[in-house]
Chains A and B, each alone.
Chain A
Amino acid sequence: MPDTDLVIQCQQGERQALEALVKRYQKIVFAMLYQLAPDWHDIADLAQEVFIRVYRHISSLRNPKTFRAWLNQITINLFYDELRKRPRKIPTISLDRNMDDDDEQVKEFPDLSQGPDEIVLNQELAAFIRKAMDELPEQFRIVIVLRELQGLSYEEIAESLGCELGTVKSRIARARARLQIMLKNYVDKLPKTENGKVIGNLRSALSI
């Protein structure tokens, strides 16, 4: 059954329709919350809150066709609400900073001449990316999540955020540019050891 029918039935009080909608979209909501805030551990609770808001306000949704964007909007607003509630961690190292001359940092890297280097490096990289995402201003982080991870079009993103298409375009481009600079700094400071192969692979995988 199409979303629009489910939404209308839901607005008329059909709980079965609500159930169908929840089951259809819970995965997307979970994923989006996780992508926005990988380090939060109460995503299930937040997803509950999203659907509680859906239930409470669905009667005010005028155009059932816009359900997906509306749901995104609720999820993003909840994310913002939670951000404000939680004390923001003060980053210990600025990722924008060029750390070429920072010997301490380089020493902390594992010895890459032996052992399962790739696993270590991959885990480090993943952790780094999440940190980089975390350091992006929220408005940039949201558009990158919606675009790259949720695969929404610019128009859908504009609808979800309630902003202009031009704003979406420029935020996406700027978010990308920032992430690329962060990644470049990260790759640049990877140790250049004799065991260049692993690092070389990673370098070329990123080659930013």
Chain B
Amino acid sequence: MKIEQIENLSAYFDGEISKSAEVTRILDSSEDARRALSNFKVIAAFIKQDSEKHLEQIETTINGFWPVLEKEINHQEEKLNELLKASLGELPTDLAEADVWAGLNKRIEEEAVAPQKAKNCSIDVLKLDHKESSNQFVSLRNWESVLKNSFALPNKLKDLDIWESIGSKLNKEFHVEIFSENASAELSDKDKFYLGLSEYFDGEVSAFKAQTINNHLLVCASCRGHYLSMVKLKNVLKFAVQPESIPSQSDFWNDLQTNLFPEEKTTGDFRKVEGL
């Protein structure tokens, strides 16, 4: 099955396209296509519900690239273990920099673009490429428990929260990615980030982008913190500039009339003046 066909199926599954003749034809003629469609359902259910429950189904679904992933993880695990031993069980600072994610993601992407290997898997899950959409980022977070539970990682490693360091690395790119659309290239990443979040906070982004950012805020504590501090800043400003010192305005109109038309008596019932 070709990537485009899988993508069509995926779009059909998401209700983004109607059941075209092309989709019908693929489903009728191809066992792979039917399997792919049923895999989408499994995966959707997995993402919606608790990961434990569907772990088994998912493992079956992704059998095709699992060994590759496992090998890569094991390799990274060895690397991490060495680092761990070297530092008496304490997390060395360079662990956060260890390229676990890059290696993992590269392998997954290689798998995803090899059509013959993709046949048992949903393209959506394989392509954990955060640039594609925020939903994939959400599903990535769901993968954390899949991965942790599927490999017999030593307790030490489990406690380390590898995904936190991988996630923070990924996050860094992701923040900028989702918040900085259309931002000037001259800005620093930090500025782009503030610009995008600030726009979102003010409700000045498209519904689609707002949804993307919503999803991101649900899973990213760091961005949520920045967002909350904007809410707080707003409250603090309102609190600090309370209008109790604003002078009374009861005589304002009479005073204004005196200012504007000093030659008149400002009785208030003189409604129209020539030349006004």
Contact = CB atoms under 8 A, between A and B. Distances in A.
Given A48-B256, A179-B233, A15 B246 contact: no
Contact of B241 (A38, A51, A52, A174): A38
B243 A148 contact: no
Contact of A44 (B197, B239, B252): B252
Contacts of B229: 180, 206-208
A121 to B, nearest CB: 12
Contact of B198 (A19, A44, A173): A173
A53 to B, nearest CB: 11
Interface on chain A toward B: helix, strand, loop, or mixed SS?
helix
B247 interface: yes
Interface string B211-251: 00000000000000100111011111111111101110100
Nearest to A44: B247
Given A154-B204, A207-B228, A129 B194 contact: no
Interface string A174-208: 10110110010000000000000000000001111
A15 B236 contact: no
Contacts of A23: 253
CB-CB nearest 7 A-B residue pairs: A129-B240, A173-B198, A13-B276, A126-B240, A173-B195, A208-B229, A44-B247
21 contacts: A13-B274, A22-B252, A34-B243, A38-B241, A44-B252, A47-B249, A48-B252, A129-B236, A133-B237, A133-B241, A148-B238, A153-B204, A154-B199, A154-B202, A166-B184, A169-B198, A169-B204, A173-B194, A173-B195, A176-B194, A205-B232
Given A15-B271, A169-B198, A173-B199, A149 B241 contact: yes
A14 interface: yes
B250 to A, nearest CB: 10
A66 interface: no
Interface residues on A, range: 35 or more
A144 interface: yes
B236 A13 contact: no
B185 to A, nearest CB: 13
Contact of A51 (B233, B239, B256): B256
B249 A30 contact: yes
A14 B241 contact: no
Interface residues of B, number: 42
A8 interface: no
Contacts of A73: none
B253 A15 contact: no
Interface string A102-141: 0000000000000000000010011111100100000000
Interface of A: 13-16, 18-19, 22-23, 26-27, 30-31, 34-35, 38, 43-44, 47-48, 51-52, 55, 122, 125-130, 133, 144, 147-149, 153-154, 166, 169-170, 172-174, 176-177, 179-180, 183, 205-208
A169 to B, nearest CB: 6
Contacts of A14: 271-272, 276
A52 B256 CA distance: 8
Contacts of A47: 249, 252
B154 interface: no
Nearest to A166: B184
Interface string B105-136: 00000000000000000000000000000000
Contacts of B199: 154, 169, 173
B253 A22 contact: yes
Interface in B247-266: 247, 249, 252-253, 255-256, 259-260
A183 B233 contact: yes
Given A16-B271, A43-B247, A176-B194, A207 B232 contact: yes
A129 B237 contact: yes
A143 to B, nearest CB: 11
B96 to A, nearest CB: 24
Contacts of B14: none
Given A48-B252, A176-B230, A183-B236, 13 more contacts: A13-B276, A14-B271, A23-B253, A38-B245, A52-B256, A129-B241, A133-B237, A153-B202, A153-B204, A174-B191, A177-B194, A179-B233, A207-B225
